[in-house]
Amino acid sequence: MSTLFRHFFIVALFAAFSMPLLMTGEAQARTCKSYYNSGIGKVTITKTGARLSARSAWRKKVRKLHGGKWGSWTIAANKHYDWCYRNSNNKWKCKALARACRPF
């Protein structure tokens, strides 16, 4: 293997692996509210469905209160589920909590 080819290969490999890390750092640049917002989802058959519904309720509430730029669960801070429970009909319901953030 020639030295030039080896150099090119190392640079290409470095670029391929470092690019996602750099992009992740950019995506994390954000301004966040100091308080939590919550969203209570609909009753669903699965726990996963209940969590999705709770996140959707959180997004809808945050967008109504603060505007569209704030309503991303993906970049929200301190996101978690306050509770998820199964009712007497064996169906799930969850409450999502997070601090709303918007990108810079």
CATH value at residue 62: 3.10.28
Q: What's the confidence (pLDDT) of residue 6? A: 54
Q: What's the confidence (pLDDT) of residue 3? A: 58
Residue 88 lies in domain:
30-103
Which residues lie below 8 Å from residue 50, measured CB to CB, with a gap of 6+? 41, 42, 43, 44, 84, 92, 93, 94
Partnered with residue 39 across adjacent β-strands are 96
Under 8 Å between Cβ of 59 and 75: no
Under 8 Å between Cβ of 96 and 57: yes
Tell me how far apart the alpha carbons of residues 90 and 80 are, in angstroms, rounded to a whole number.
Answer: 22
**Is there a domain that residue 14 lies in?**
no
pTM value is: 0.72
Specify the number of domains making up the chain: 1
Q: What's the confidence (pLDDT) of residue 23? A: 43
Q: In the chain, which residues have pLDDT < 50?
A: 5, 7-9, 11, 13-14, 16-26
Percentage of the residues of the chain whose pLDDT score is greater than 90: 71
Q: What's the confidence (pLDDT) of residue 5? A: 46
